[in-house]
């Protein structure tokens, strides 16, 4: 189970990294010319690609095969050491514990930073303008119940036109629910705290978020508004208020870059709409591409290893007891069946045909889950469908009793993971008498 989880985390890490690189390439190649809004929208490509990779894919049912490979089984299979598997399991457990500890620590730090910001805001009062400390800019606080909070000196520190532009800026954050997207970005950062691409994407996304708001405001303003807007930005520099779930007028990225970007925000409405459409198309293509690539990639290597299973079936009846056995080789997750129905077996051992169907799944480096379906009679009737979990090389026992006491069946399964052996074509000998 831990191995499968780590494989999924590695796949998500690779997807996040490649998607982040793709976003920056797209922004550098075309999005800046098509508007800051399109550049900000491109960041949606990252979670869409990650979701596409994580979506379940339709599985192809494996063919049920009947095999008895006891005659060709190498002797080393039964005595293969499992020390390497144990070491692998320990390393996987340590990696999982490290990831959990790092995620919890980062989540605690982000929560602490958010609470510190909310403490500055204080308890809401009837005077909505006196919330943040003097010297700060306005901000949008909240994820579900969003509101604009203003600094104590908002009326005195900024003139009428500056206040109007600043409130328009925060109004864009409010309408777009940017704090909700910040929550998603924070969650991805917590889950991928070890990935430098995640940290870089987090900071870059917040930068593009502010630039897109600047563009939304200035696109409809006269040219003279550009100088007023830049002056308002200068007045709050040096006041670092960057909570994870709030959008504030001041930002942590360099002022020079933000002011330089202001020169590019006055684009035509046609180019603005074209940029948004192209960005949306790229996001859809990323989702389809991620789903398709993952589908063609197949199952993880850990799920395609071969498993040799010793099957021993003991029957206790009124007239005595008997035993039959065989060996089954199949891939993890593949259904494999064996039917004990030869005349010699049914007459002298089992008294009726018996079929055993197995699907073995790897849970981690050593643990195996065995889904068993046991049928008996002519026609075959399901007697039991248990699920057992055992370790590599450790016997698992299943007992079945008839309701009338006519027979008892004891099934013993000993699965062993095998490397370097592939399935053979179905053998003609289904089972052998023990």
pLDDT 10s digits, 87-118: 555 777 888 889 999 999 999 999 998 888 88
The per-residue pLDDT of the chain, averaged, comes to: 77
Out of 136-140, 161-165, 261-265, 292-296, the most confident range is 161-165
Helix or strand holding residue 4 (H, E)? helix 2-26
Question: Under DSSP, is residue 372 helix (H, G, I), strand (E, B) or coil?
Answer: strand
Whether the per-residue pLDDT at 287 is higher than 50: the answer is yes
pLDDT at 48: 92
What is the CB-side half-sphere exposure of residue 416 using CA atoms within 13 A?
A: 21
pLDDT at 423: 45
pLDDT at 63: 39
CA separation for the pair 142, 174 (Å, rounded): 10
Higher pLDDT, 317 or 290: 290
CA separation for the pair 223, 266 (Å, rounded): 9
pLDDT at 80: 41
pLDDT at 274: 81
Whether the per-residue pLDDT at 17 is higher than 90: the answer is yes
Does the pTM exceed 0.85?
Answer: no
CA separation for the pair 421, 357 (Å, rounded): 21
Omega before residue 379 within 30° of 0, cis: yes
pLDDT band at 405 (very low <50, low <70, confident <90, very high): low
Question: Under DSSP, is residue 299 helix (H, G, I), strand (E, B) or coil?
Answer: coil
pLDDT at 85: 44
Q: Give the list of residues 6+ apart from residue 76 with CB closer than 8 angstroms, or none.
A: none
Question: Under DSSP, is residue 173 helix (H, G, I), strand (E, B) or coil?
Answer: helix
pLDDT band at 384 (very low <50, low <70, confident <90, very high): confident
Percent of the chain with pLDDT over 90: 19
pLDDT 10s digits, 354-372: 899 999 888 877 888 899 9
Instruction: Return the DSSP state at 29.
Output: I
pLDDT at 47: 93
Domain boundaries, the chain: 2-60+91-297, 303-433
């Amino acid at each position: 189970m831990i191995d499968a989880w780590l494989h999924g985390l590695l796949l998500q890490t690779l997807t996040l990294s490649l998607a982040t690189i793709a976003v920056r390439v797209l922004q550098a190649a075309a999005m800046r010319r098509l508007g800051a809004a399109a550049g900000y929208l491109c960041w949606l490509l990252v979670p869409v690609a990650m979701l596409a990779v994580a979506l379940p894919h339709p599985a192809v049912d494996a063919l049920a095969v009947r095999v008895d490979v006891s005659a060709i089984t190498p002797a080393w299979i039964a005595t293969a050491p499992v020390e390497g598997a144990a070491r692998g399991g320990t390393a996987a457990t340590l990696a999982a514990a490290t990831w959990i500890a790092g995620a919890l620590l980062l989540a605690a730090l982000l929560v602490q930073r958010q609470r510190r910001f909310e403490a500055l805001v204080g308890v809401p009062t009837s005077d909505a303008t006196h919330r943040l400390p003097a010297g700060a800019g306005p901000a949008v606080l909240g994820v579900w119940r969003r509101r604009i909070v203003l600094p104590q000196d908002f009326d005195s520190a900024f003139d009428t036109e500056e206040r109007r532009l600043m409130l328009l800026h925060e109004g864009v954050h409010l309408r777009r629910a940017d704090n909700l997207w910040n929550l998603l970005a924070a969650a991805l950062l917590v889950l991928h705290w070890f990935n430098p691409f995640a940290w870089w994407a987090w900071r870059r996304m917040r930068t593009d978020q502010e630039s897109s708001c600047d563009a939304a405001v200035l696109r409809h303003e006269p040219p003279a508004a550009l100088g007023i807007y830049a002056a308002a930005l200068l007045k709050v520099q040096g006041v670092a208020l960057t909570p994870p779930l709030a959008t504030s007028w001041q930002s942590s990225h360099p002022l020079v870059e933000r002011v330089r970007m202001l020169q590019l925000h006055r684009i035509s409405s046609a180019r603005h709409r074209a940029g948004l459409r192209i960005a949306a198309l790229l996001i859809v293509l990323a989702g389809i591409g991620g789903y398709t690539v993952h589908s063609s990639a197949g199952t993880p290597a850990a799920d395609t290893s071969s498993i040799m299973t010793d099957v021993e079936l003991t029957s206790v009846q009124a007239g005595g007891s008997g035993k039959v056995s065989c060996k089954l080789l199949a891939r993890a997750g593949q259904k494999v069946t064996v039917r004990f129905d030869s005349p010699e077996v049914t007459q002298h051992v089992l008294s009726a045909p018996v079929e055993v169907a197995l699907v073995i799944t790897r849970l981690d480096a050593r643990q195996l889950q065995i889904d068993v379906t046991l049928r008996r009679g002519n026609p075959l009737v399901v007697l039991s469908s248990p699920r057992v979990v055992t370790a590599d090389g450790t016997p698992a026992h299943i007992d079945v009793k008839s309701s009338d006491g006519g027979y008892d069946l004891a099934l013993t399964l000993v699965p062993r993971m095998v490397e370097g052996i592939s399935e053979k074509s179905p053998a003609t000998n289904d089972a052998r008498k023990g």
